[in-house]
Amino acid sequence: MTTKKKKPEPFNIIPPDLSAKEKALELAKRDIITFGQMFLPEDFMKSSPAPYQYELSDLLLDDREKRNCIILPRGHAKSTLAKTALLHKLYFNPPDKKEFIAWVSEEQSQAIDHIKYIQNHIDINPALQYYFGDLKGEKWTEKEFTTARGDRVIAKGTSQRLRGRSQLGLRYTKIILDDFESELNTKTPDRRREIKEWVMSTVEPALENSKENEGSIWLIGTIVHFDSFLQTIYDGYVDAQKEKRKYAWNVMYKKAIENDVPLWPSYFTKKKLDDIRRRFSDMGLVHKFAQEYLNEARDLETAKFKIDRINYYKGNLESRNGFNYIITGESAIPVNVYIGVDLAYEANSRSDYQVIMVIAIDKERNIYIVDYYREHSPLYDMPQKIFEYAKRFNPVRRVNVEKVGAQGVIKDYVNQLIGKDRKMAPGLAQGVRPPGGIKKEDRIEALLCPVVASRKLFIKREQHSTLVDEMFEFPKGRNDDLLDGLWYAVTTARPPKSSAIEMDVFEERMSSKEEKISSQLISWITGQKI
C-alpha cells in the first residue's frame, strides 16, 4: 500500500548566490534522508537508502497529513527515520511555531532511550552545532527536554496519561506512538481493548485542535497481533480503498520481501531474509517470521492451514529403472510423481502467476513438494515449460492442466511435445476442470488443509518459503496460485504400492535390476547382446 505523495521541490531552484553552507542547509531542509546523511552519518551511511525510505521521508515532512499510520517490518529503520524527522522539525520549524511533542513507546524507558538519542545529537553533534548553533534549552532531563527555540519533548509509555493542558496549559502538537504495541500488551482481549480505548480517549483529546496549529499523530510499528490497533487501522484502510471512500488515516504498509523482491535490498538482501526465515522455520516458528517481517499476524487457532504442522525433509527425487524415489541419507522411498498446472491469462506484475507444481506421493500418502515454477510468463510459453518439467522429472504419472476456457488447449500442445519424445508417453497431460459451484478457496481448503493438518505435507526449507507464505495468508492473501497448482497436482494423485527400504538394500536391488536390463540389451548393428 502506498501513501499520497507530495511533489518535491526541484533542487535547481536553489538561488545560485547562496554560500556552500547555505546550499547544504537548503538541501537538508527539503529531505530527511539528505539531512540524515549530512548530520547522522553513523545511521545513514551504512547502506544505500531504499525507495520506501524516501517515500516515508516525504510523508513525515508533510504537515498536511494529521493521522499517519506507518507499518514497517522489524529492523527497517522506521524509528530511526522518525527520530531524524523529529530532529529535522526542531531545527527547521519557523521561529514562531512552537512544538509540544510526546514520544510514546510500550514502556516509558524505551521512549526515554529515543529522546536521549535526540538530546545527545543536540548536545554534542559537532555538525549540528556548526550549522545551527546551540539548541539546548533550560529543561534537560531524561524524561523531558526543551530547546532554545521553545519546543518541548516528553517521553511516555503506552497507557500513561498525557498531561498537557491540565498541567501546562498546552495541548500536544504531535504525538508519536512508536512500537507502542507488543506481544505482551496485546496478549489478551482486555489488553487490546484498553490500548484502543486509550488511543481514542486519551491520545486523540490531548492533541492541539486549533485551526492554526492542528495536532497530528504518527503511529509507527509492526503488526504484532491479528486484533491489534495497527491491524484494525490497516483493515479499515483496505476496506476504504476497495470502496473508494475517504479514510481517517493515511497508511503506509510494507513487507520486508514481496514477490521475491526485498524492500531494502542493500541491507536486507534476499539471502539475508532467507537465512532469517530459515532460522525461524528451524524452530517451528515460521508464523513469527511472517509477523515480524511480513506484517502478517494470524490466529493459529483459527487459521485454515496449520502451518506449524508442516514437515520438512532433506532429500532428492531420483529416477531409477523407470521408477521414482525420494532418496534420503538413510532410505529410498518409492513415490509416484504428479504435476499440477495453474494457468493465468495475462502475464504482468498485477495478474496471477503461471504455476507448475511438481509433487511426489508415497505409499503412506505423504505429499512431497519436489519443485515448482511461479512466474509472470506469457500463456503461449507454458506448453514448452510444462514439457520441460515433465521431462525433467520423468516418469510422471500425470500432468493435470487447468481446463477453463481457452486454457484447455494448452494440454493438447503439451501432449504434442511429449509425443515427440520416445521416452515419454503421449496423452500424459490431462485437462482438469474445477468442480462447478464451488469457490476456489473452498476446494483448496477441502483438499489441502487436511493434508497439512494430518502432518502429511513435506517441504524443503530452502526452496518453498513462498508456498508457506501463501498458506499463512490464505484465504486473505493477495496470491493463492501455488496452492491452486498444488490442488491440481494432488487431486488425482495415487500412491505407489512399494514401501520405503534402507539404502544398502535399495542399492543392491538397483544394481541387480540394472544388470538384468543390460543383459537383455541387443545391439541394433550386430544383433548381439551388449
User: For residue range 182-212, what is the model confidence (pLDDT) as tens digits?
Assistant: 988 998 989 999 999 999 999 998 998 877 7
Judge if pTM exceeds 0.85: no
pLDDT at 514: 57
Q: Smallest Cα–Cα separation from 293: which of 458, 448, 468, 459? A: 468
Supply the pLDDT for residue 163.
62
Confidence of residue 398 (pLDDT cuts 50, 70, 90): very high
Percent of the chain residues past pLDDT 70, beyond the cut: 89
| Residue 153 confidence class, pLDDT cut points 50, 70, 90 | very high
Of the pLDDT bands very low, low, confident and very high (cuts 50, 70, 90), residue 348 is: low
Is the pLDDT reported for residue 166 higher than 70? Answer: no
Mean pLDDT, the chain, whole residue set: 86
CB contact burial 412-450 (16+ within 10 A = b; e otherwise): ebbbebbeeeeebeeebbebbebeeeeeeeeebbeebbe
Residue 411: predicted pLDDT: 87
Q: Give the E-state strand segments of 387-506 in sequence order.
A: 398-402, 429-432, 457-459, 501-502
Confidence of residue 351 (pLDDT cuts 50, 70, 90): low
**Highest averaged pLDDT of the listed ranges 1-10, 121-130, 350-359:** 121-130
**pLDDT score of 12:** 44
Flag whether pLDDT at 394 surpasses 50. Answer: yes
Is the pLDDT score of 9 beyond 60?
A: no
How many angstroms separate the CA atoms of 144 and 167, rounded? 14
Q: What is the 3-state secondary structure (H, E, C) of 342-386?
A: ECCCCCCCCCCCEEEEEEEECCCCCEEEEEEEEECCCHHHHHHHH
Full 3-state SS string of 97-121: CCCEEEEEECCHHHHHHHHHHHHHH
Q: How confident is the model at residue 285 (pLDDT cuts 50, 70, 90)?
A: confident
What pLDDT was estimated at residue 391? Answer: 92
- Residue 195: its pLDDT value, please? 93
User: Is the backbone of residue 457 left (phi > 0), alpha (psi -120 to 50) or beta?
Assistant: beta
pLDDT band at 513 (very low <50, low <70, confident <90, very high): low
Tell me: pLDDT of 529 over 60.
Answer: no
Q: Cα–Cα distance between 516 and 191 in angstroms, integer?
A: 72
pLDDT above 50 for 249:
yes
Mean pLDDT of 310-322: 87
What pLDDT score does 468 carry? 83
Is the pLDDT assigned to residue 2 strictly greater than 80? Answer: no
Q: Average pLDDT for residues 147-162, to the nearest whole number?
A: 90
pLDDT at residue 282 tops 90: no
Among 18-22, 234-238, 313-317, name the one with the lowest average pLDDT: 18-22
Predicted confidence at residue 169, as pLDDT, reads: 57
Count of Cβ atoms closer than 10 Å to residue 244 Cβ: 6
Give the model's pLDDT for residue 444: 93
